Amino acid sequence: MEYVKIGNVIIEKTASLAPMASVADKAYRLMAKEFGAAYCVGEMASCKGLCYSDRKTAELLSVSDTERPMAVQLFGAEPEFMAKAVKIAERYKPDVIDINGGCPMPKIVCGGAGSALMRTPELFGELVRAAADATDIPVTVKIRAGWNAELINAVEIARIAEENGAAAVTVHGRTKEQLYSGKADWDIIRAVKQSVSIPVIGSGDVASVEDCVRMYEYTGCDLVMIGRGSYGRPWLFGQILDYFEGKTPRPEPELDEKLNIMRKHIGLLVEDKGERTGMKEARRQAAWYIKGIAGAASLRNRFGSINVLADLDELIKEITLNVGSS
């Protein structure tokens, strides 16, 4: 097994889980870690929200020992708030603090944060410096290829991040304008890797063991990060771990095993967020788990009406019986 070092944090060089807002919550991260994710980054938290003592924002910084090594992620556009937020984040004892320079969503970009920072390199550098000076915890950044096809500047931004104290940089190979459409440009990840001396984490279009291996080989990145490719498939991290341990990657689970994994995931959701909120969010997770199985479209409608764990258990039992009798 090879390893990558971010500051003083040692991470297996397999695959890590991306920080996906409203998706990669504690339950999602715990499932990914159980199957072998080498590293996780939490959902992004607002610097201003933390500074103004918003309880829900602070909850995003929770780190359990099971999730380590783990980073918490902050977003903002004002260095003074970034520095204060980092000091607050320290209380939760994350292994790494990550700055979001890649979120393309309008509500983040309109405030000058997220991928809007790709258009303000000087401000980006100030944010990184403010964070790095405020803590001894390694500070990393997550960026995109650029703002649009005319402004591909990930190399410039990565260099600025390094110069201002960043311990690593994650590059998603799409522009802000692309959102999550089209194809990720792995050439820009490779270009960043060749331009900085800090570790580079590659992200975009990794949904299999083969994709993960190809990204390592093609870009030379130090770690691969997986986001949407893990939707309803936490075992993907186990398959990748198997490969890098020299084993034959475990096969895709059979339907009954998938349903058991889904049930555990949703149980963790309910445990963390309560049955009402957890079951509401579980509907989307369930849709991902059943994708591709016979009758998935009608099952999505059924899962869309589950309100309590007992509803879920009845539906799982029904699916299992129908498969067994077919």
Which residue numbers are catalytic? 103
CA triple 1-42-182, angle to 5 deg: 80
Provide the token pair at 193.
Answer: 């890797």
Separation CA 77–CA 21 (nearest Å): 18
Helices (H), 164-234: 186-195, 209-219
Separation CA 163–CA 180 (nearest Å): 29
Tokens 């715990």 correspond to 30
Could you please report the per-residue DSSP string of 297-316?
Answer: HHHHHHHTT--SHHHHHHHH
Separation CA 37–CA 40 (nearest Å): 7
Separation CA 248–CA 209 (nearest Å): 11
Separation CA 236–CA 207 (nearest Å): 8
